[in-house]
Structures are given as structure tokens and as C-alpha cells.
Structure 1
């Protein structure tokens, strides 16, 4: 139940606050986030220039220090030291929620392992903002974040993500978005449902909903659409595509063979029929047997 009144939040000593900040529209910040950012002893920021701009907009001047992907290991030690000294530290990224495809996960883990308090201050996140307007994630979803930059590893990652049949949510950079869509089409097929959310909450926000095969034409209609930050949500078709079917077929075949054969023979036959590695199939067979025994 929601309380009728909450006093202003005050950052408690020796506590790390993971604070969500606006994706683009500054009016999306929460009052609690402002309370914590204003009362913390210091702010660990992905980019101190961006965070100081945010603070100045709201009349705050809390000291900032840098914590980003290139210095997180060292900066995390600094955070730990200051928390142990009794300070309250707020952790922010340039936009959205820290530690979700953004810096912060390592420092949160270190603080928790040290037995110190970590408190979420929830708010904007591109992941949930995109899902809320997609109409695709009501029964669950898989979050892949940023995929590998090269096509081969990216396709392998997509195949793993798509096997569950749930909508797949991805983040992508503007210079790779078309390549990523091509790989998505190769793995999920042109008819898979797709949502592209571009520049969420910002001045040039756009959302495309349609089929994967129509995405290229949408981008071609306006060159500016390749700019900005993207969230992609694709719903794999119920039937596996040619690239995902072999792995699924091998698993089902293995399951059937195990009804009549021991794991060694089942894996050997499944490998001969499907071409999948025998050792991998044997390991999977043992896992299936164990799961069946536990069940």
C-alpha cells in the first residue's frame, strides 16, 4: 500500500545509493532521486560533466568523481573506502539506471560483498520504457543488452537468446543498428515482429512497430533515423528458423533417445544424426537425466 506522505529522503551514512536519472527529459527525475543526490556526500558518475549539468539544473552542487567502464575497478575501491569512512555515496550513469548495460555492476557487487548497504532509487530505464509501449513483453522477455560488435559472434548470441521463444530486448549503437537488424532477420526471419525505439523521451523520439523485413525501408525513408540511441525488441516466431532449428532438433532427439538408451549411446547417436559435438550432447544428456531424477 502506498503511504499518504513521505518526508524528504536523506542519504544515510555508509550507504551506496544506485540512482536512476532521466534518459533525456529532465522532468522524469523523481523527487527521491533529487533528495538523495542533494544529501549524499559525493556522487560517483559515469561522466562528471553530464552529472554536474544535471545537478546545476536542479540547483544542486554535490561533489562528483568519475566511475566509468575504464576505471570501475579502481573507482570501486575508492567508493568502498569512502563508505567505510561513513560517507553516503550516490551512483549514477549518464542516463537511466546504473548497472543495466551501463557501469556500476562491479562496484555494487564489491559493496555487497563487503557487507555494506546498497539501496536502489528507481526511476527511468530504457529497457522498461521500451517494453511498456511494445505490447510484446507481458508473458516475459529476454534482455541481451549490447551484443558483440562483429556479425559472427553477434549471430551466435542472437541464436542463444531467441531459442526460448520470448521477446528479445537489445540495446544498439547508431553505427551498428542496420547490421544488427540484418543479423536479427537472419536468425529470426523477416516476419518476426519488431519494435524499434529511438531516442526515448528525447526531442526526436520515434517508435517503429512492424515486421523485421520492413525495418530497412523505415530507416531508408529518413537518414536521421540512424542517429541516436536504440532499443530493439524482436519477438521470435514460434517456429524455429533454419539457423536455430538444428540445436533445437538435437535437443529433442536426445530427449527421445534417452527414453530407451543410456547417455553415452544416446549422445553418440544424436551426434551422428545431427552433426552436433558428441561431448556437448553427452553433457546435456547427463543434465537431462539428473533433472529427470530430481523431478
Structure 2
């Protein structure tokens, strides 16, 4: 999510001078998700004092530093999804030599749908220290503003782009009892809302949060059906976080699918093929689609077909 471009009052080095910066350590630091004023003094101290700053986008890093009135004194390197595995060991060699390596993404906390995980995992393998300078989080911000239960929640990242993957993922979450948080881009919100409607029905409570912490921050609360209509009537702009209520215990008990064996599905398909006068393969395709597995996937058609052949041969 892009930072608010509004500059804030410049801060000199003395402001963060008393904040300790660890040496020989990887530091994951959260950067503002929208409002530059959310930057912590600890982030400022790290930007000033780190030996190396590994940034998702170096131009965005320097822009943030300018708006914070901070001079980045250490060496700046690009660390993004396409190169972080290759860079991990060279950066960690610096840590092993006593350097402070600061890892920042464009907005929010590194590793949360942003680069950083490869370095963290490699640091753990090498026994090198890793710590966090926590801060702004679009996930927690949206969760707090949605007005839905927060005692148990799960973060599902971006909704899959491919329609079949999206449908399977959402089907697998139909009985999820925790509040769910998703990221979405404005150009995909239409199809995602359609998919949510198909998977959860129109009455599940949710919130659509956009432009969090920015001047045009907006939180739309209501049912899936209401939010879907709102997306049609007034398409949202900016980066979006969706918060969806979990299923109730009653919903789960009513909706929990009965898992049928391949033989049971084959019998259903044979009955349908006979009663409707369709090919057995077409009947199997229909029956399989009507009986998704708990994880949202479908039974194996080939196994059901083989079971059908076995039943026919034994008849």
C-alpha cells in the first residue's frame, strides 16, 4: 500500500539518538501503510543507524526518509521477491560480522505479503538473531475497525486471481469460525465480491476497508449482499482489506458436507445417468461437483469412474 505523500515535520538525529539499535542482528521494521505520522521513533533510529538497509523498493525508501526528515547513513540495497533468496546469505554474512541489517518493505511489516521470509528462514538456519520493530499493519487496522469478533481471526492474504483457485479457496473457508481478513486490489474487487457471495451467501457480515490511515480512509460495513451492491454503485478506489465474519456453530453443523466414498458417488452417478438419460461421465461430473470435500476441492473423477466400472462389472 502506498504511503501518503504529505510531508511531516522534519526530525533531526537527536530525536532518535537515545533509542538503542542492536548490532549483529536482522531487524524487520514496519513502515507506514498510509499516514507518515505513524512512523515510530524506533524506525527513525534504525533508518539513521543501520549499517545496511534492505528495501523492497529503494526509491520508496528514500521518499519515506525524505518525508521523515531522516538521512539514511547505511548502505542501501534492493531486496524484493525476485532476488531475496540470492541476497540472503550475503546480507547474513554482514550480520555475522556484527552489522545491523534493517529490512523494510514498501508499507507495513516485512514478510506479511511482502519480502523478508527467505532472509528470516535463512537467519534461523544459521543461528543468527532476528528481531522486529513493530508498527503499522493493514491487517490489524482493518480488523480493529470492522466491528467483527477479534478474539480469534485468520489472515488469508490476497484472494487467488484464477477463478477456479479463488472458488476452491473460498469454499474451503465456508465453515471457518474465525474472522477472516483478505487483501484485494480495486481492479479485482468486483469478481471477488461475486465469489464471496457465491461461497458464503448474501447474509454473512463483513467490512470493506480502503485507503487505511490516509485522508480518504473509508470503512463500509454490512452484509456481503449489501457490500456487493455498494461495490457496484460506488466502486472503491485504493488498496482494499476485506474482513469477513466467521461461521457460527449452527452454520457449521448445518453446512458440514457428508464425505462420500468413490463407490457411493458412483452409485449416485449411475442412478442419475439412468433417470436423466445422460452419459455416465456427465453424471459423474455433476455428482462430484455437488459433493465438495471439506477443504473445498472435489473428489477424484477418475476414482469415481473406476468405481462405477467395478459396480457395473459386479452387477
CA distance in 1, matches of 2:113, 2:101: 21
Stretch moving more, 186-195 or 135-144: 135-144
1:210-246, CA deviations, whole angstroms, 9 ceiling, x for partnerless residues? 11111233223434x2x210100111443559xx94x
Shift of residue 267 of structure 1? 8.8
Please say if 1:234 is aligned against 2:238: no
Distance in 2 of aligned mates of 1:59 and 1:100:
25
What SS does structure 2 have at the residue aligned with 1:18?
Answer: strand
1:271 positional shift: 8.6
Does 214-223 or 91-100 show the bigger shift? 214-223
Q: For 2:213, which of 194, 201, 211 is the aligned residue?
A: 201
Say which SS state the counterpart of residue 13 (structure 1) adopts.
coil
Question: Quick one: distance in 2 between partners of 1:115 and 1:80?
Answer: 10
Contact 2:181–2:242 (CA<8 Å) still a contact in 1?
yes
Matches of 1:136 and 1:237, distance apart in 2:
12
Residues 1:60 and 2:77 aligned together = no
Unaligned runs of 5+ in 1: 1-5, 255-265, 279-295
Secondary structure, counterpart of 1:250 in structure 2: coil
| Counterpart-to-counterpart distance in 2, 1:229 and 1:33 | 23
Map 1:96-107 → 2, pairs under 5 A: 96-107=108-119
Alignment counterpart, residue 128 of structure 1, candidates 131, 137, 140: 140
Q: Contact conserved, 2:207 with 2:243, CA < 8 A, in 1?
A: yes
Give the length in aligned residue pairs: 256
Unaligned runs of 5+ in 2: 1-15, 269-286, 292-298, 301-315
Task: Label 1:91 to 1:137 Cα distance change in 2 as closer, same or farther (>3 A).
Answer: farther
SS at match of 1:37: helix
Q: TM-score if structure 2 supplies the norm length?
A: 0.74
Q: Report if aligned partners of 1:32, 1:121 keep a CA contact under 8 Å in 2.
A: yes
**What does 1:102-251 align with in structure 2 at a 5 Å threshold?**
102-223=114-235, 225=236, 227-238=237-248, 240=251, 245=255, 248-250=256-258
Q: 2:84 aligns with which of 72, 96, 106?
A: 72
Contact 1:188 1:237 in 2 (8 A): no
Distance 1:78 1:110 in 2: 11
Would you say the 8 A contact 1:167–1:236 is kept in 2? yes
Counterpart-to-counterpart distance in 1, 2:222 and 2:171: 21
CA distance in structure 1 between the partners assigned to 2:70 and 2:148 by the alignment: 39
Contact 2:146–2:219, Cα closer than 8 Å, also in 1: no
Q: Rg larger in 1 or in 2?
A: 2
CA contact (8 A) 2:48 2:70 kept: no
What is the match of residue 23 of structure 1? 33
Residue by residue over 1:57-111, the C-alpha shift from the partner in whole angstroms, topping out at 9 and shown as x without a partner, is 2222233211111112112233222212221111111011111111111111111
In the other structure, the counterpart of 1:257 is: none
Equivalent residue, structure 1, for 2:9: none
Aligned to 1:36: 46
Does the CA contact (< 8 Å) of 1:52 and 1:64 recur in 2? no
